[in-house]
Amino acid sequence: MSEICPKCGLPKDLCVCEAIAKEEQRIIIRTEKKRFGKIVTIIDGIQKNNINIKEIAKSLKNKFACGGTAKEGSIELQGKHTDKAKEELVKLGFNSDMIEIRERRWIVFGKKSLLAQKQRWLARKIQLWLAQKEK
C-alpha cells in the first residue's frame, strides 16, 4: 500500500497539494539593475511549503539558457526575462491572474541612467546649500 499525504488524504502518487498551492501563489516578477549594469529578473512570492523552488529555478534556467539561483524564497535569473518567465510559470501550473510584472524603466542618456543623473543633481544641490550655510 502506498503512503498517504497528510494534507489532502490522497495517496502520494495522486496528491494534488502542489497543484493547489501553485494556483494560490501571488507572484511578482521584477527586474533589477545590479553591478556593472547587469540586469537580473527576480521572481518573488513563491512560498516553499509545498513547492520545490529549486526545481522551478532549474526549469526556468534551462528554458531561458541563462544562469541564476534560488535563495530566500525568490528566484533570480540573469538577464531580462519578465514576459517569458510569466508564460513559463503559467505552463508550470501557476495562475496567470496571480502573476504581476513590475518593470523598472531605465531611461539612458549616453552612458548615464536618469536615476544616476538625479542623484548627482541632488548631491550638487546639497553641496551648494551647505556652502551657503557656512557663509
The boundaries of the domain holding residue 122 are: 105-135
In sequence order, which ranges of the chain are alpha helices (DSSP H)?
Answer: 17-24, 53-64, 82-91, 114-134
Clarify whether residues 95 and 111 are in a common domain. no
Judge if 67 and 79 occupy the same domain.
Answer: yes
Q: What is the model's pLDDT at position 78?
A: 94
CA–CA dist 43, 30 (Å, integer): 7
Residue 101 pLDDT > 70: yes
pLDDT at 99 over 80: yes
Whether 109 and 82 map to the same domain: the answer is no
Same domain, 32 and 86: yes
pLDDT for 61 equals: 95
Query: How many folded domains does the chain comprise?
Result: 2
Single pTM value for the model: 0.65
